């Protein structure tokens, strides 16, 4: 069970704040149709890029590729090349050579993170049904991930679990929680790679359960049935091609019972 501290993120261009998500797809039309049907996304093609819109603001990008991949989270950086160099010096790897705008790195725990340089007028919608809500890093080496991103982005790291049964830290910028980090335990299949779990918002009038049912109707899978958390009602979904993400209704807040603390997590990547 993930812990989802849903707090408003500082607006870009704060260094380290989530500023973008994208999804590579081998079948662009099928992907457009799935997410339009699930979230009501509208699309616009701008300078060759296919952008998804919620209430007129871009919330994601769909990128044509040879194969479908996981969602990629991008964090804001004032300088992509300097970030790549620092990541390398801290034990990370550079997966795509930095341009003036973007770079993609691997952290020492094995997860993939994008960095993007954005301007003060950058638009990234974080309100409304189907908009970005939150993201958490799932990894088997929580201490290494905490240390790496603390040095790379200056995150304030706070343990909110007990560090043993529940090892979950929040990463904050000037006191505002922007991301989380969960240690993957025995409930995750051994072959499950470290990964970011991206959360999208379910509007309260639609609800998490309705989104889960709609995903099934559109050819996706519900890998974790909707469940309640102190931060909202959550479900984990795989789209028509297998890309996994979570959906969160932050208005459905339910305190955890004592016997739920430290409960095992179903692995959404275990088929």
| Residues 123 and 57 sit within 8 Å (Cβ to Cβ) | yes
Write out pLDDT tens, residues 177-197: 999 999 998 888 889 999 999
pLDDT at 50 over 60: yes
| Residues 115 and 80 sit within 8 Å (Cβ to Cβ) | yes
Cα–Cα dist 73/10, whole Å? 16
If residue 72 lies in a helix (H) or strand (E), which one and from where to where? strand 72-76
pTM of the model as a whole: 0.90
pLDDT at 107 over 70: yes
pLDDT of 264 reads: 41
Q: Which two tokens stand for residue 61?
A: 């990008």
pLDDT of 188 reads: 87
Residue 261 CA, chain-centre distance (Å), reads: 23
Supply the DSSP string of 180-231, one letter for each residue: EEEE--TTS-TTPPPEEEEEEEPPTTT-HHHHHHHHHHTT-EEEEEEEEETT
Cα–Cα dist 181/202, whole Å? 22
Q: Tell me the pLDDT band of 48, cut-offs 50, 70 and 90.
A: confident
Sheet holding 156-159, edge to edge: 156-159, 168-173, 176-183, 132-139, 195-201, 244-249, 232-238, 221-229
Write out pLDDT tens, residues 224-259: 999 998 889 999 999 999 999 999 999 987 765 554
Question: How large a percentage of the chain has pLDDT more than 70?
Answer: 89
Q: Tell me the pLDDT band of 154, cut-offs 50, 70 and 90.
A: very high
Which domains are seen in the chain, by residue range?
18-260 (3.10.180.10)
Q: Which range has the worst mean pLDDT, 45-49, 106-110, 136-140, 145-149?
A: 45-49
Q: Tell me the pLDDT band of 5, cut-offs 50, 70 and 90.
A: low
**Mean pLDDT, all residues of the chain:** 90
pLDDT at 262 over 50: no
Mean pLDDT of 209-227: 97
Mean pLDDT of 23-28: 94
Between residues 46 and 258, which one has the greater pLDDT? 46
Q: Which two tokens stand for residue 71?
A: 């969602």
Write out pLDDT tens, residues 120-144: 889 999 999 999 999 999 999 999 9
Mean pLDDT of 147-155: 98
pLDDT at 164 over 50: yes
């Amino acid at each position: 069970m993930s812990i989802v501290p849903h707090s408003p993120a500082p607006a870009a261009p704060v260094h380290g704040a989530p500023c973008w998500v994208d999804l590579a797809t081998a079948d662009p039309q099928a992907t457009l149709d799935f997410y339009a049907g699930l979230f009501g996304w509208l699309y616009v093609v701008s300078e060759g890029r296919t952008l998804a819109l919620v209430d007129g603001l871009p919330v994601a990008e769909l990128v044509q590729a040879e194969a479908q991949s996981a969602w990629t989270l991008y964090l804001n950086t004032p300088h992509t090349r300097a970030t790549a160099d620092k990541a390398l010096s801290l034990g990370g790897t550079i997966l795509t050579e930095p341009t003036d705008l973007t770079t993609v790195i691997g952290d020492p725990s094995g997860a993939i993170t994008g960095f993007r340089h954005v301007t003060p007028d950058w638009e990234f919608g974080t309100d409304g049904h189907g908009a970005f809500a939150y993201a958490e890093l799932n990894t088997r080496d929580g201490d290494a991930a905490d240390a790496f991103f603390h040095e790379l982005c200056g995150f304030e790291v706070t343990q909110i679990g007990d560090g043993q049964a529940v090892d979950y830290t929040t990463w904050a910028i000037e006191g505002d929680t922007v991301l989380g980090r969960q240690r993957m335990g025995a409930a995750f299949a051994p072959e499950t790679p470290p990964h970011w779990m991206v959360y999208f918002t379910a509007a309260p009038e639609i609800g998490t359960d309705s989104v889960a049912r709609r995903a099934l109707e559109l050819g996706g899978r519900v890998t974790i049935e909707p469940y309640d958390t102190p931060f909202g009602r959550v479900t984990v979904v795989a789209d028509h091609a297998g890309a996994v993400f979570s959906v969160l209704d932050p208005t459905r807040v339910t305190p955890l019972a004592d016997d739920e603390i430290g409960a095992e997590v179903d692995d959404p990547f275990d088929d």
